[in-house]
């Protein structure tokens, strides 16, 4: 029976371990799927908002810069400008300078136009790249006489195309966007008209969003976060330009990079991170056609960290629930089988007690009746109510009233009752003539007395048989 029970226990533990393992796996799959769905929904919604924001920013930037290009185009079509670049030689214009009546009129025209159309400077260069008229001719930092032939926007205009470029101002040292338009006379390039807007005046474009603008070399030239400006995007082409080009355009040599890397989620590769930041962000960009600029927007998503934390909490909750369920099942199994074993043990104990011809009485350590068999009741004619009370004093009184005890028997009984560890055997005669052998044994558990077992055997036949045999022999 015990071997079978151990086998059942082992099977139960194995089943419990398998059930717990399956619960953990299913819980993780459920939590991962649930969390992935929530994060995916968040990413889709936020990416949609970010793309709209980037589109809006790109349109505003394109419109602002396109307006500046329109200023250059407007001046390039002016007959006075065309006539100036066609008829007047550069040496003559240099000698005449800003004092000449013709140039003075054009300078005033450029100054008024610049002020009314919010361009910082508008100037005219001859085919050689020398500035011959400018809206700031009356200022100390006047562009007149400065050569711009090395600028990209001038070289593009010389090829008959509109030119644009980000650069530091040669005379003002203020960064800005430059837009040039060629002036052609009968297919011959005679000069350019260039407009500039200082970059700080475009800050409003990125003021209300996490955004920045980079040039064709991957250098951030405008950003809401000013610490990003003059830093480079990953794999920026500026690293492959010469020092002379970098110095001429940016007036600096070294450009720290923006540490933009994948966040590390294979499920959501669109997520990025800045440096060692733990919160991911979404990234969106638009290329401004014809302007060699890129508009970038990003949107941090700290909600993902919250969702990941909730994912861990939910998994822990499901894991604890699984442990409680498995523990409850195991406890219920053990409780049920322990109860069954107690019932079986009690039945076995009762069958053993009733199978013997001796009367059995068991008392506990507190001298209360713990068990007895039917033979004991019959042997001493004990009323059922007396045993049901569980009190040994009344039972002893009843037994002593039924027996004829000698002084030796009384002394032995007193010793046994007084000493819990004492054992003894005595033969007593009942008033109805029967002879009963009484045997008392202490029950021990780790050197402690936990009760006593009394055994009563009717030995009347054994004692009378030799006497009867002797009487027959005498006859």
Per-residue pLDDT in tens (0 to 9) along the chain, 475 residues: 444 566 667 787 888 888 889 999 999 999 999 999 999 999 999 999 999 999 999 999 888 888 888 999 999 999 999 988 886 554 554 455 444 788 889 999 999 999 888 899 999 999 999 999 999 999 988 999 999 999 999 999 999 999 999 999 888 889 999 999 999 998 899 999 999 999 888 888 888 789 999 999 999 999 999 999 999 999 999 999 999 889 988 988 899 999 999 988 888 999 999 888 888 999 999 998 877 899 999 999 999 999 999 999 999 999 999 899 888 888 887 777 777 777 777 777 778 888 888 888 888 877 788 888 888 888 888 887 776 666 677 777 777 777 766 656 656 666 555 566 667 787 887 777 888 888 888 888 777 878 888 888 888 888 776 555 555 445 3
Q: Provide the 8-state DSSP code for 431.
A: T
In this prediction, residue 419 carries a pLDDT of: 64
Tell me the fold of 356-474: Beta-Lactamase (3.30.450)
Q: Provide the 8-state DSSP code for 269.
A: T
Domain residue ranges in the chain: 2-39+305-340, 77-201, 204-304, 356-474
Treating both helix axes as pointing N-terminal to C-terminal, what angle do 2-76 and 303-355 enclose, rounded to 10 degrees?
Answer: 170
Alpha-carbon distance 364 to 347, whole Å? Answer: 19
Q: Residue 242: left (phi > 0), alpha (psi -120 to 50), or beta?
A: beta
Report how far apart, in Å, the C-alpha atoms of 423 and of each of 84, 150, 219, 398 are.
Answer: 141, 124, 104, 22
SS3 406: coil
Bridge partners of residue 131, in order along the sequence: 125
Top-level class of domain 77-201: alpha beta
In this prediction, residue 2 carries a pLDDT of: 47
Nearby residues of 28 by Cβ (< 8 Å), 6 or more positions away: 315
Nearby residues of 367 by Cβ (< 8 Å), 6 or more positions away: 392
Nearby residues of 248 by Cβ (< 8 Å), 6 or more positions away: 150, 167
| This prediction's pTM | 0.65
Nearby residues of 214 by Cβ (< 8 Å), 6 or more positions away: 220, 221, 233, 293, 294, 296
Q: Are 426 and 413 in contact (CB under 8 A)?
A: yes
Q: Provide the 8-state DSSP code for 256.
A: P
Per CATH, 204-304 and 356-474 having the same topology is answered: yes
- 380 closest CA partner among 357, 398, 356: 398
Q: Are 319 and 22 in contact (CB under 8 A)?
A: no
Pick the CATH number of 204-304 from 3.30.450.20, 3.40.50.620, 3.40.1190.20, 3.30.70.120: 3.30.450.20
């Amino acid at each position: 029976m015990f071997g079978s029970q151990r086998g059942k226990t082992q099977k139960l533990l194995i089943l419990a371990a398998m059930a717990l393992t399956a619960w953990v796996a299913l819980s993780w799959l459920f939590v991962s799927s649930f969390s992935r769905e929530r994060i995916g929904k968040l990413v889709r919604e936020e990416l949609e908002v970010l793309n709209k924001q980037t589109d809006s920013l790109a349109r505003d930037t394109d419109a602002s810069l396109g307006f500046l290009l329109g200023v250059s185009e407007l001046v390039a079509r002016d007959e006075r400008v065309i006539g100036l670049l066609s008829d007047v030689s550069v040496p003559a214009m240099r000698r005449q300078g800003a004092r000449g009546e013709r140039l003075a009129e054009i300078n005033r025209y450029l100054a008024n136009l610049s002020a009314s159309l919010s361009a910082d400077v508008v100037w005219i260069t001859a085919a050689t790249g020398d500035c011959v008229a400018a809206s700031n001719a009356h200022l100390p930092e006047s562009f007149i006489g400065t050569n711009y032939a090395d600028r990209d926007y001038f070289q593009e205009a010389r090829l008959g195309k509109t030119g644009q470029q980000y650069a530091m101002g040669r005379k003002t040292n203020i960064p800005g966007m430059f837009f040039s338009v060629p002036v052609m006379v009968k297919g011959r390039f005679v000069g350019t008209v260039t407009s500039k807007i200082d970059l700080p005046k475009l800050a409003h474009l990125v003021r209300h969003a996490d955004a920045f603008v980079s040039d064709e070399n991957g250098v951030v030239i405008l950003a809401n976060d000013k610490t990003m400006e003059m830093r480079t995007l990953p794999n920026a082409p500026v690293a492959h330009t010469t020092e002379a080009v970098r110095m001429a355009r940016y007036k600096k040599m070294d450009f720290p990079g923006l540490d933009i890397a994948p966040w590390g989620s294979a499920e959501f590769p669109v997520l990025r991170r800045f440096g060692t930041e733990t919160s991911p962000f979404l990234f969106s960009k638009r290329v401004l056609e014809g302007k060699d600029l890129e508009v970038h927007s990003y949107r941090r998503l700290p909600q993902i960290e919250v969702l990941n934390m909730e994912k861990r909490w939910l998994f822990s909750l499901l894991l604890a629930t699984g442990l409680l369920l498995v523990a409850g099942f195991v406890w219920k199994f053990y409780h049920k089988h322990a109860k069954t074993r107690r019932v079986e043990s009690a039945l076995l104990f009762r069958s053993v007690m009733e199978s013997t011809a001796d009367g059995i009485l068991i008392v506990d350590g507190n001298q209360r009746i713990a068990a007895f068999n039917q033979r004991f009741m019959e042997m001493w004619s004990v009323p059922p109510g007396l045993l049901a009370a569980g009190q040994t004093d009344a039972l002893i009184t009843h037994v002593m009233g039924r027996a004829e005890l000698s002084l030796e028997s009384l002394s032995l009984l007193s010793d046994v009752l007084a000493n819990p560890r004492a054992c003894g055997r005595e033969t007593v005669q009942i008033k109805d003539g029967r002879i009963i052998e009484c045997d008392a044994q202490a029950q021990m558990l780790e050197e402690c007395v936990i009760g006593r077992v009394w055994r009563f055997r009717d030995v009347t036949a054994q004692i009378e048989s030799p006497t009867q045999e002797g009487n027959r022999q005498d006859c």
